[in-house]
Amino acid sequence: MSEPSHEDAAPRAGGRLALSLAITLLFTLVEALAGWLAGSLALLADAAHNFTDVLALALSWFAWRQTMRPADKRRTFGYHRAGILAALVNATGLAVLALGIFYEAFRRLQAPPAVKPVLLTAAGAAALLVNAGTAWLVHRGSQSDLNLRSAFLHLLGDVYSSAGAALAGVAIMAGAWSGLDPLVSLLIGLLILWNAWRVLRETLAILMESAPADIDMEQLVRDIAALPGVSGVHDLHVWSISRSLRALSAHIAVGDIAVRSGAELQKRINNLLRQKYHIGHSTLQLECPGCEPNGLFCALEQKPERGTKAD
């Protein structure tokens, strides 16, 4: 069975985000109340940590709502980049969280505090169930949506953290060194930082209008040039609007052909781009061979200011 399209999956993704947000918020309030009643700093600290997930999910849900807005005269490509900006903020938050874990882990390794292993294990197990459930809700669709991906990694980091805390609690109950708890936290922090870097790298690439990493530009040009009727390609631009929405613009050099033949050629090129390179939005300008400049990629120059002359 084929995966649902981006348009079909989007409403369900918003519902899963909202459900994950509600569950995480409820669990955070319960954990904070339990920590206050029990006088447990560990539970209160974990509740504060889970509150960062509430903020991340709320931001992702708000960005999802923005991406559903139609294009207008101010945002002619629509609001899809709202999800990219949310992913950027969430990934930055993950990196800051990892640095905070490193600081606290190193501090505790120097002087390991007394740990209540039963409380640590119980809290870790409960958090593991909640975080695993919410991560599962957000996971579907995260492969093609960077906003969902960043929210999923937030929750996945908590899954690892909760599992590590529960296992550390069990090990300490069995007589292991109490410093095992911050040592596990260091490993979890490294994993969170790696995932944050992956999202940041992809987010910045999209914001810089980079060509998608999985597209071989030279092969793309060869594929277009191999189509009957194409004699050259120039002024080529390929970029991503979001992780799943790709765009292309190019000038295609052709012979002296009729308008109907040109339309059929454009259709063949669009089919090639959609099927092989997953480019759903393309703008093609047909030109006679004499119009072709020397370069394949167009050099965009800044427009001279008023009152000055261009060199």
Delimit the domains of the chain by residue range: 6-207, 217-291
What confidence score (pLDDT) does residue 5 get? 46
Q: Which residues, including other chains, have CB under 8 Å from residue 40's CB and lie 6 or more apart?
A: 34, 116, 119
State the virtual CA torsion across 286, 292, 293, 299 in degrees, nearest 10. Answer: 10
Spell out, as residue ranges, where the chain has pLDDT lower than 50: 1-8, 40-41, 304, 308, 310-311
Terminal C-alpha separation, the chain: 59
Residue 22 Cα distances to 57, 131, 169, angstroms: 9, 12, 28
Q: Which two tokens stand for residue 296?
A: 């394949």
What confidence score (pLDDT) does residue 130 get? 86
What confidence score (pLDDT) does residue 172 get? 72
Averaged confidence pLDDT in the chain: 78
What confidence score (pLDDT) does residue 47 get? 67
Q: Which residues, including other chains, have CB under 8 Å from residue 159's CB and lie 6 or more apart?
A: 128, 131, 132, 135
Per-residue pLDDT of 163-210, as tens digits, reads 777 777 777 777 766 667 677 777 777 877 887 888 888 889 988 888
What confidence score (pLDDT) does residue 44 get? 56
Domain 6-207 annotated CATH 1.20.1510.10: yes
What confidence score (pLDDT) does residue 6 get? 46
The model carries a pTM of 0.68
Q: How far apart are CA 46 and CA 28, in angstroms?
A: 8
Q: Domain 217-291, what fold? A: Alpha-Beta Plaits (3.30.70)
What confidence score (pLDDT) does residue 143 get? 74
